[in-house]
Chain A
Amino acid sequence: MTSVEWLFPANVEEAVGALAEQGNRAVAGGTTVFDLLKLGHPLPRRFVDISRLPLGRIVETPGSLTIGALCSNTSVANSPVVRLAFPAIPQAILSGASQQIRNAASVGGNIMQATRCPYFRTTSWPCNRRSPGSGCEALSAPTHAHAILGTSKHCIAVHPSDMVVALAALDATVLARTPDGDLTIPITDFYTEPDGAWDQGTMLPSKALITAVKVPHTDASRRSGYLKLRTRASYEFAMVSVAAALSFRSGKVEAASIALGGVGTRPWRRKEAERLLVGEKLDQGPIDSFCDALLDGADLRPETEHKLALSRRAVHRVLRALADQ
């Protein structure tokens, strides 16, 4: 590691100005940034400490909730209004990391967290995400944790977040500020699939600072949940996870939104598949049809093919549990 300079902006405007300069990088909790740095990932020219900016509030607005980007993961999981109106969010957050990490990690950092693909993390391997054009070692030596959806010849790394899977099922929107003004990006459009050109894999411009995430409050968001399956009981990334939000009318599905984690290069959601559930009773048949459409085209390898059956069963379990609520 060479050395690095720190900037401590006094307000959001100063921070956005600092981040507009090439080579400067935002740090909030630092849990991902510092980890990768120690593995040999390059230092930026300057770190911009955004951890004290006033972006740590949870604000109720008519029809939605706005969660500040610098809320800790713990504070969101403990928020009474989040627990009541969006149960999938605290369930997802509390299924990830440990309390020590959740206390430090911010909402914005969770959205921007880097993949856990071992070939990305360890700098001695080729990796198109870390170094575009260098190749993808995972394609020749995949692990049981690699992606089966949204893959390409460039990358099969899984998006690691739990919280974002819940946000995807809840149709959240990312709010960001740039020197040219504010922008909003639906979380379902936020992550890009690997095309060989990108590195961070998001639609967020390099000069933008995430300020908040906005979640619409609906009947379905109140009936939402998150299930995570993994190789040990706690403190582990998802093998497969499911976030779902449902509403019913006269015993039939009125609205359904379902996102998968642990299986895709981005949080995996297909709205056209969800339409197969609308107007149906939530029985085995419609759920099977939904799973067929959601998982169609899965890119299976001997190491990862278990994720297909695991995904289907997890979807069944979550949807049936929410239907019985």
Chain B
Amino acid sequence: MPADLPSSLTIRLTVNGADLEVAVDPRRSLLDLLRENLELTGTKKGCDHGQCGACTVHVDGERRLSCLQFAAQMQGRSVTTIEGVSGPGNDLHPLQKAFIRHDAMQCGFCTPGQIMSALAVVREGCPTDTTELREMLSGNICRCGAYENILKAVQEVAGDLR
């Protein structure tokens, strides 16, 4: 590595409500920052290329793919991960409970991304039409094929969360 290049840069950001200052490699993704630096392993690394949605988190309230976000650009941003969605006393979020009720997973690897994506869909104005909802969630792949039950879980709680 050339001597004039820094091996890390320091950024301040908020993760699940906590203000943090962290030194990161300038090439690091937000996903690796969360998983490796902050040990928040709920966010999953599937394809690492923006094709599967498993790494979905919220940045300033919007859903984003953390694998395609440079950590270096996160200065001042507020990030919410699956670890940050539970209620008081670590009670599961109503959508998490609905996923369990509807058996909306098999292996569960895509589930954190599905839930973060669906929570954003509710905020974006969850469509009541199932075809439209499928389109809004199409960036989250489930290789077990639990889509039908994921849709049921989201539709059941969307009205209450709106």
Contacts and interface: CB of A to CB of B under 8 A. Distances in A.
Contacts of B16: none
A100 B53 contact: yes
Contact of A104 (B69, B72, B134): B69
B49 A97 contact: no
Interface string A1-24: 111111010000000000000000
Interface in B29-77: 29, 48-50, 53, 56, 59, 62-65, 67-70, 72-73, 75
Nearest to A74: B62
Interface residues of A, number: 31
Contacts of B53: 98, 100
B27 interface: yes
B68 A4 contact: no
B63 A103 contact: yes
Given A35-B50, A100-B53, A100-B63, A5 B68 contact: no
Contacts of A27: 70, 73
A47 interface: yes
A38 to B, nearest CB: 6
A34 B69 contact: yes
A6 B64 contact: no
Given A2-B1, A27-B73, A100 B64 contact: yes
Given A3-B27, A234-B134, A103 B62 contact: yes
A38 B72 CA distance: 16
Interface string A82-102: 000000000000000111110
Interface in A30-48: 30-31, 34-35, 37-39, 43, 47
Contact of A49 (B65, B73, B135): B73
A135 to B, nearest CB: 25
Contacts of B70: 27, 30, 34, 47
B68 A101 contact: yes
A108 to B, nearest CB: 15
B64 A234 contact: no
A100 B67 CA distance: 11
Contacts of B155: none
A99 to B, nearest CB: 6
Contacts of A2: 1-2, 5
B80 interface: no
A98 B26 contact: no
B134 A99 contact: no
28 contacts: A2-B1, A2-B2, A3-B2, A3-B7, A3-B25, A5-B4, A5-B6, A6-B72, A8-B75, A31-B50, A31-B65, A34-B29, A34-B68, A34-B69, A35-B49, A47-B26, A49-B73, A98-B138, A99-B120, A99-B121, A100-B63, A100-B65, A100-B117, A101-B65, A101-B68, A103-B63, A104-B59, A235-B139
Interface of A: 1-6, 8, 27, 29-31, 34-35, 37-39, 43, 47, 49, 51, 74, 97-101, 103-104, 233-235
